[in-house]
Structures are given as C-alpha cells and as structure tokens.
Amino acid sequence: MQKHRLIGIACHNGQVTGDGRLVLAGAPIGRAGDVSPRLREALEGADVVAAEDTRRLRRLATELGVEIAGRVVSYYDQNEAGRAQELVEVLREGRTVVVITDAGMPGVSDPGYRLTRLAVEAGVTVTALPGPSAVTTALAVSGLPSDRFCFEGFPPRKPGERARRLAALAGEERTMVFFEAPHRLASSLAAMAEAFGPGREAAVCRELTKTYEEVRRGGLGELAAWAESGVKGEITVVVAGHVARAEEQDMDALVAQVDRMVAEGTQRKLAVAEVAKGAGVPKRELYDLVHRRSATP
C-alpha cells in the first residue's frame, strides 16, 4: 500500500485542493517516544521542513526511524523574519511546509509566529500537529490551581524591566507560567519573591519528561534560596495567582476609616499606621491604596 503523503493537501468543506499548507508541528519536550504517528507522517511527506535547529531535527528523525525526503532549512530567531518571507512564497506555490522547533509548539516562545501571520494573510491553510507542551505539563504537575492560568514567557533579562513586569503581575489572580534560563533562575525567583511575596506558592519544573525530571515546590523565597546553588536543564516556573487574604477583603472600609480620621485632623501617615495595625494588614499596602484613591478624580 502506498504511504499517504501530506504534500499540498488541504480540505475545505470536505473537498481536497492543491493549496499550500503550513503545518505547525509540536516536538517532544524530552523523550522522542512522545511524538505522534502524525508527526512522523508529516516529516516524511513535507516539501520543506523548517527547523529551529537542523541538527536536532536530524537526530530526532534518526531516533524515530524517519526519512525526511523534502528540503530541510533552518528557521530560528535570528533569521526568522527573512526566512518567513521565503517560506510563504513556497506556500503560495501550493507546497507543504512543516515548522518544528527544538521542543514544544512553534510560536510559543519559539519561532513560528511571523510565518503563521504571513500565511494567514496570504490565505494559506494553517494547521497544527499537537504535541507535548512544557506550559501545560508544568501546570499539571505543579499542584497549583489549573482552572485559570496565563503564560508569561521569559521574564525580561534586565533587572529593572523584570521588576516592572512582575510588579504589574502582582495582583494577577490566575496561576502564572514562566520559562527561564537556568543561569537566571535564582535572580528571577528572588525578583518574584520581592514582587509577589516570599510565601507565594510556586513550583520549579526542571527537565520535564526527561531522565532527570525534577519538580521542586514551595514558597518563592524558599525556592530562590534553593536555586542559588545552581540549577541545570530546561526550566518552567509555575506561580500561584494572587488570593486576597480575609483581612484584605474589605479594604474599602479601611480606606474609608482612614479618610474619616484624616477629615477629623489626623495626619494621613498616622491614620494609615493606626488602621493598618488594627486590621493586621501591611501598612505600605494600605497607604498605597489610600494614595491611589485620593489621586483618583
């Protein structure tokens, strides 16, 4: 029986056409055995395979016993803009292009977005071969709430930019998922502890699905101290969202109490200190809230 080849095949309303087709292929994040039969088929049948690292692709193909008959080209961060233009022309010719990154789904903190956008604008069929994802895998094993979450990618490298980004997320109620390089993990966790509080629950997931997989759970302060000794491998960090403490739930009433005391002649700082102490809430937090409310027209 002739092997089915995914070359220039697209379905529209049940009809097969010869239009070009962009296939975003999810690569295993650890073990080659996690790939699907459809990925094998796509690699064998593509006209062009655009790989983030062509050497890794060749190793994966060897492990899978797959022969890639089409042209293999590099497609990584530094050449993505120019290569995407070339590949969209290939798609316009009615050919099939498979995009595969080192691990996970193209476009998720990996090359793929630019080409996908150009293909959509060109009216080319875009589809995906789903595969393992470090984002959802880490979320699942973290033990943190997974009903609502957001993916924040890599935190900024510069300390100031990172601090501002994390400060903006301090009130985020959804579980947050980050990627981070191992040599920046300790400083990032320390910055998260500063922005979210050292007791905020988190999980550091290292080498997911690989031989030396490790999931370290605890407060951000504790995890930052642990990471100081050095951590290796692919890292995904999952951080619990902000949950209002019971004493925070009626902050409006505390602000109103401060306002009354100020109206009666008490200095704002003294009023905030007294109310915060009585309610058991951080003085700085109450002061910032009072200041924001007073500045609002």
Residue that wins the pLDDT comparison between 18 and 213: 213
Provide the CATH number for the domain formed by 10-132 in this structure.
3.40.1010.10
Long-range pairs for 208-214: beta carbons < 8 A, 24 or more residues apart: 208/29, 208/30, 208/134, 208/137, 208/138, 208/141, 208/234, 208/236, 209/28, 209/29, 209/30, 209/31, 209/34, 209/132, 209/137, 210/30, 210/31, 210/234, 213/30
Residue type, 149: F
Percent of the chain topping pLDDT 70: 90
Contact 114, 81 (CB under 8 A): yes
Separation of alpha carbons 171 and 56, rounded Å: 40
Tens digits of per-residue pLDDT, 45-68?
999 999 999 999 999 999 989 999
Tens digits of per-residue pLDDT, 109-157?
888 899 999 999 999 999 999 888 999 999 999 999 999 999 999 999 9
Separation of alpha carbons 2 and 236, rounded Å: 42
Write the CB contacts of 46 (distance below 8 Å, at least 6 apart in sequence). Answer: 6, 7, 23, 68, 70, 96, 97, 98
Q: What angle do CA 151, 157, 158 make, to 5 degrees?
A: 130
The predicted pLDDT at position 172 comes to: 93
The residue written with tokens 């470090």 in the block is 134
Inform me whether the pLDDT recorded for 253 exceeds 50.
Answer: yes
Can you name the CATH fold of 135-239?
3.30.950
pLDDT band for position 13 (cuts 50, 70, 90): very low
pLDDT band for position 297 (cuts 50, 70, 90): low
Interval 10-19 mean pLDDT: 40
- Which of 30-34, 73-77, 186-190 is predicted least confidently? 30-34
The beta-strand segments (E) located in 181-241 are 201-206, 214-219, 235-239
pTM: 0.72
Contact 128, 101 (CB under 8 A): no
Domain boundaries, the chain: 10-132, 135-239, 246-295
User: What residue spans of 101-219 are helical by DSSP H?
Assistant: 113-121, 134-142, 159-168, 185-196
Fold match between 10-132 and 135-239? no
Interval 86-98 mean pLDDT: 94
- For residues 184, 185, 186 and 191, what is the CA-based torsion angle, rounded to 10 degrees? 90
